[in-house]
Amino acid sequence: MTTLRVNGRRIDVAEPPTIAAIVQEVTQRPAGFAQGVAVAVNGEVVPRGGWAGTQLVDGDTVEIITAVQGG
């Protein structure tokens, strides 16, 4: 069992996911279509090109930030 903290919420998953998988779960959009999204793992921003290849591990803290258009 892998335990992550995603946007302040504890998530338990059977297998360690990639960043891309977590982004898809949280945003409900495939990671390739998640425009206006930034991700930090343990306080370090991860470029979009690294999402699919970055495996999360037990205890990681993930922040997923989405841009919101305003006026």
**b (16+ CB within 10 A) / e for 10-38:** ebebeeebbbbbbbbebbeeebeebeebe
Residue type, 5: R
Q: Identify the weakest region by mean pLDDT among 6-10, 26-30, 64-68.
A: 26-30
Model confidence at 68, pLDDT cuts 50, 70, 90, reads: confident
Q: Phi/psi at 68 (nearest 5 deg)? A: -125, 130
| Domains parsed from the chain with CATH numbers | 2-66 (3.10.20.30)
pLDDT in tens, 25-54: 888 877 667 788 999 999 999 999 999 999
* pTM confidence score: 0.87
* 3-class secondary-structure state, position 1: coil
Instruction: Count how many Cα atoms sit within 13 Å of the Cα of residue 7 in the half-sphere of its side chain.
Output: 10
